[in-house]
Chain A
């Protein structure tokens, strides 16, 4: 009898918990389709982390974030936040700390904000434009007198100078990346900063482009707080970078509110200096910025559909279905494909040391045979411009970059793909033919077979690389695919001081996106031989391409200021790139995916929204796109 009672009890518990659960169902959400099974790992960094149980900042007032005061994100934070130290790149704190071409500026601020739509920089901490001296060796800018730290003290030129000195002293990634181009940064007076370029033997700046990019790419940190940190770690460089810096002083409009395994929340600093007339004239609209930590893209998409995410920075497969089929108030920057603005060029690289791939004919034949429309339709679900819309070059599809080269001059070098006959002819003409009749061509008497590879789990890249392999079969070259784990892949591909091992004949890597040094930076990434021999090469030219002519152009461009000359030089670089085919772009990818759900907030950036300067679709956090946070309004005020 005991048994029967027990079963009854269990049954009761089951029913009770199910019923209770049902009653407590969240009253949100609109109709949503089955979660997309497409796992799209490209934005999920391999070294993403699980969360630190950081103590709740004991919210005194709100246990629940008011929906109409909170802007929710996805696709930026994968795994939990590790720290708040703006000197370190190991914080896994994507929303708060991300320095670079379009630096994320919700907590820490750069002197200037880069706008990928018009290629201009706009002052943030800085007051007015920067100026170069006549010799082009020193860049000067002033700081806004209104700019304040979160502790109320003013942001001074001394802070800018000390930030740089600290980067150099502790050999931070930013220090190491710029020390070859920046000699020093000094404070002339409390408001005036001079960035001194490193000079070459001729007394010219080594690279004025990179010097200018510094002021829109890197945060200014407070000298006083930096000294506190230095004292705490006793000048130990490793400890300096490993410090989680919970006490950090910041100048931006948001700071830490809460972080744990499940989410990270930033709260507005209502004393933010930028609400004054010298900058924005008001506070950003949302009081809280929150990012729930999803474990994959499918979960993120489901939350976006449910209205639990306002701004989605992740690949949502077939994004148009969200409004066309599900009738949700969801939209992208452009209403039609490609839905966003392509900024980077995911590219297949050739290992130029593989037998046969040292031949231009072979490289070009494979590249022109590839079915790019299939890659764009399947791997990217049309969230990329096609190569008919934006013919290939070294430039991304933004207007600014497209204007940098002479389209007519390179037109007959460009290809849109699927040219199997052309590819066969190229190979035949080069004498690379099938002489033993087995259906595969031979090179130097050996059957041509290559391995095309990309990281496992990066489903759009995997789909793309399969299409490349299929193209090989069409033209008599046996290309098989292999998908190692990212941890292995990245170690192999970035080791440029030894030849690439077997299995890496054709491999994928991303490219630089939009930024103040582009398209020069991308051209350098694709073609510069200066990276050959680096033990940890995250810069480019992974396949070992060398062309002195290209090197000379890449060397010369940063110092060139004449637009006509620049255009000529870029056109020449594109010509070399499309002729030699050291690598070939497979698709265009936006700087950030930017899909918004307007159930709660509206007035997000869209193409032709009338903002001037235009607010780029970078999730209202990166570079000039943070201007969008000030434009948001509630759907139901």
Chain B
């Protein structure tokens, strides 16, 4: 048990160090970008204004409101204080909306699209990968090349193909939006159905790509494990096939689980491509707009969420690994 405690505290320490470093980067990196985001707001305000003093007054009013007139370190401490209170401030690009409001409005669309897509893609991909490794033969010969092909398609390519084939040509699915262009959100079957229908193309554009990559990875891992000495030895010992498959699966899964955790950690970053091609609501395009517009508070908040989620996912994995695979714990606590 002592080994576990030492392993755990070691991981926790590194978790905190990484968090602090990431937090610093989240704050400072966006602010090192060229361009003055407050100028963009003033631009909206000042169009058509011809008096110098008026423009200057507006500029000063907003630099004060957003605190961009303060030295960087003061801004940082203000930011830390506010973040600890759960206040991410105003979004520059969507002023006067707050960052919390902006994220709150889009994040559920993103999670609802990404989480099932990642899970389904992961499960199908890994299952296909294991099958290919076991069955070999024709199944493998078809699956491998098609997986490689699909996983190497750029995401926008897959999205556009689905859009053109199933949306524009066959007209099986709508081409844009999160729900019917003529609907108002409500709790009716019509509306729920509309959401389901609009969900399909963005969903599959992510799933198909995920499947390919996962299948290739899982197939290689499984083949490697199937040839490992312990498998041969187990067979020699007369251990049942099912039990051996269990060992193999468990060992081959480890890297795949890491991949899954990272995917889930980064999913809040949004499915930018699917969102743009299908005009689907979500955080991805919000973040893109924020980056292009130098919207520091929004960039910092979204990257902070991504950072924390990735760190938590990693931390959880490390801890679970400790239990799952004694080799890792042993190696780490030496």
Contacts and interface: CB of A to CB of B under 8 A. Distances in A.
Interface of A: 3, 6-7, 10, 14, 17-18, 20-22, 24-26, 29, 32-35, 37, 46-53, 56, 59, 62-65, 67, 70, 72, 79-80, 82-83, 88-90, 92, 100, 171, 173, 176-177, 179-180, 237-238, 241-244, 257-258, 260-263, 265, 290, 292-296, 298-299, 302-303, 306, 308, 484-488, 490-491, 494-495, 530-531, 533-539
A176 B54 contact: yes
16 contacts: A10-B127, A21-B196, A25-B197, A29-B171, A34-B168, A50-B283, A50-B286, A90-B45, A244-B96, A258-B184, A290-B182, A295-B279, A295-B285, A487-B292, A494-B39, A536-B55
B176 to A, nearest CB: 5
Residue of B123, B188, B279 with most partner-chain A CB within 10 A: B279
A261 B281 contact: yes
A288 B178 CA distance: 20
Nearest to A7: B127
B185 A56 contact: yes
Contact of B160 (A35, A63, A536): A35
A102 B45 CA distance: 18
Contacts of A488: 34-35
Nearest to A90: B95
Given A295-B285, A537-B55, 10 more contacts: A10-B127, A21-B172, A29-B171, A32-B168, A34-B160, A82-B97, A90-B45, A485-B292, A490-B43, A536-B42
The 3 A-B pairs with the shortest beta carbon distances in the complex, nearest first, are A176-B54, A242-B96, A53-B105
Given A49-B97, A64-B182, A295-B279, A80 B174 contact: no
The CB with the most chain B CB atoms within 10 A, among A47, A298, A485, is that of: A47
B203 to A, nearest CB: 8
B266 to A, nearest CB: 19
B44 A90 contact: yes
Given A265-B184, A487-B37, A176 B275 contact: no
Contacts of A491: 35-36, 39-40
Contacts of A177: 48-51, 54
Contacts of A90: 41, 44-45, 95-96
Contact of A47 (B50, B93, B170, B182): B93
B176 A299 contact: yes
B163 interface: yes
Contacts of A298: 277
B96 to A, nearest CB: 4
Contacts of A67: 182
A67 to B, nearest CB: 6
Given A63-B188, A171-B54, A72 B181 contact: yes
Contact of B106 (A14, A26, A51, A237): A51
A292 B177 contact: yes
A134 to B, nearest CB: 28
A316 B80 CA distance: 46
A53 B49 CA distance: 32
Contacts of A50: 94, 102, 105-106, 283, 285-286, 289
Nearest to B47: A538
Interface stretch (B58-66, B140-148, B256-264): B58-66
A284 to B, nearest CB: 19
Determine which residue in A22, A37, A100, A491 has the highest number of CB atoms from chain B within 10 A of its CB, and name it: A491
Nearest to A175: B54
A261 B106 contact: yes
Nearest to B287: A50
Contacts of A88: 96
A262 B175 contact: no
Contacts of B41: 47, 90
Contacts of B172: 21-22, 25
B94 A79 contact: yes
B149 to A, nearest CB: 19
A189 B11 CA distance: 78
Contacts of B40: 46-47, 487, 490-491
B123 A10 contact: yes
B315 to A, nearest CB: 29
B105 A173 contact: no
A46 B130 CA distance: 47
A53 B104 contact: yes
Nearest to A305: B168
B79 interface: no
B46 A21 contact: no
Contact of A89 (B47, B170, B181, B186): B47
B57 interface: yes
A488 B35 CA distance: 4
A139 to B, nearest CB: 19
Given A50-B105, A53-B104, A173-B45, A535 B279 contact: no
Nearest to B38: A491
Contacts of A29: 171
B301 to A, nearest CB: 13
Contacts of A37: 160
B127 A173 contact: no
Which of B42, B93, B182, B197 has the most chain A CB atoms closer than 10 A to its own CB?
B182
Given A90-B44, A176-B49, A536-B55, A294 B279 contact: yes
Contacts of B65: 238
Nearest to B93: A47
B180 interface: yes
A74 B265 CA distance: 35
Contacts of B279: 292-296, 299
A82 B96 contact: yes
Contact of B174 (A17, A20, A25): A25
A244 B293 CA distance: 22
A298 B105 CA distance: 24
Nearest to A261: B281
B120 to A, nearest CB: 8
Nearest to B207: A14
Contacts of B50: 177, 180, 530-531, 539
Contacts of A494: 39, 43
Contacts of A6: 123, 127
B173 A21 contact: yes
B317 to A, nearest CB: 23
B260 to A, nearest CB: 16
